[in-house]
Amino acid sequence: MRVVVVGGGVLGTFHAWEAVRRGDEVVHLEREAGPRGATVRNFGLVWVSGRADGPELETAVRARELWEQASEKVAGLDFRPAGSLTVCRTEEELAVAKEAAERDAGEQSVGGAGRGFEFLDAEQARKLNPALRGEMLGALWCPRDGVVEPREVLAAVRKQLESSGRYLFVPGREVRDVRDRQVRTDDGVVHAADEVWLCTGAWHSGLIRELTDDLPVRRVRLQMMQTAPLDEQLTTAIADADSFRYYPAYQGPALDALNQVPQATVADDHKMQLLMVQRTHGGLTIGDTHEYAEPFGFDVQEDPYDYLKTAAEQILGREIPKVVRRWAGVYSQATTPGEVVVRRTVADGVHLVTGPGGRGMTMAPAIAEASFAAVNR
């Protein structure tokens, strides 16, 4: 087949990957000079641990397998099976970690996908990640979590796709019209296709609105930052226990009790949890916030950054390096409960895939695989 993929983020790139893998010829269109959206503004986490039971977890587990397989084929992809530690500093947080580990073990015993959770006491956690010198009662270990470099991974995948001889990346071209399986860009060029995949991320307006105006999605804004290199290695990704409140994997009586304990005001106001990942150059990516009500501000707010800096330093037991970058980002999130991603056939042979939320980097390979299966390919 001749396939046109619209959208150069991680979702579009892995739809292109899946098409090339199936023997198709692919034209891949991106309106910017290169990806600038949520794909390059995230942690690079392949985050299995927090996912909801059922289709969400199954998709994440499958995606993790596909990331590892891709890393064996793609030079520079640099998938790292680092795992994660969610640090607990109160008895209420500790109870959630223990309950999650026990429940996960039970699910795996009856053949469920499982997350590989293991509860570690403070000594065991520090042995696994010696950089954790702050106060800690214990941690929840998830060996299935991994890390990629969000600013580098897509270029590496595209280079591998180009080597097939059946892939062309066309940046700086915005799609203006899709009809009769023909895609017209703003330079007047028409790309004929047997199949079109629209993976346009948080772009819900313009052409997307013309094709379908009732998508069950919303946009979410976040704030994050990155430091100068840390002079030691973080051997795992790090989360604080506010992650228990945010991610759906931890629901249960212990979480109900934890939710009776108020978050810090700034964390509650900005719907925050701490995630921290070390980049290959040594810097730390730290975040994040969640804002749901549009219109979003055009500026970033400083209080959340102060809170994240303090939380990171309490976990590490030391001052973090100088913050060298701050940014905001926006992603598209499905609003139907239990829906991993929104898929719509919006015209003959034209398929829209959007709304993975903060799960896009984790799940994109498996979402793309399922997209092609959904159209009997």
What gap in Å lies between CA 234 and CA 53, rounded to an integer? Answer: 28
Determine what percent of the chain is predicted with pLDDT higher than 90.
94
| Structure confidence at residue 113 (pLDDT) | 64
Beta strands in 59-203 (DSSP E): 84-88, 118-121, 138-142, 146-147, 167-171, 175-179, 182-185, 190-192, 195-198
- Its pTM stands at 0.96
pLDDT of residue 352: 97
Which pLDDT does position 338 carry in this prediction?
87
Q: Does position 325 have pLDDT exceeding 60, yes or no? A: yes
Tell me the pairing of strands 182-185 and 175-179.
Answer: antiparallel
Q: Where do the domains of the chain lie, and which CATH numbers do they carry?
A: 1-82+145-215+339-377 (3.50.50.60), 84-143+217-334 (3.30.9.10)
Does residue 284 surpass a pLDDT of 70? yes
Q: For the chain, give the mean pLDDT.
A: 95
Does the pLDDT of residue 110 top 60, yes or no? no
The pLDDT score that the predictor gives to residue 114 is 77
Instruction: Give me the sign of the Cα torsion angle 91, 222, 57, 118.
Output: negative
User: How many Cβ atoms from other residues are within 10 Å of residue 131's Cβ?
Assistant: 18
CB 313 within 8 A of CB 319: yes
CA distance 193 to 4: 6
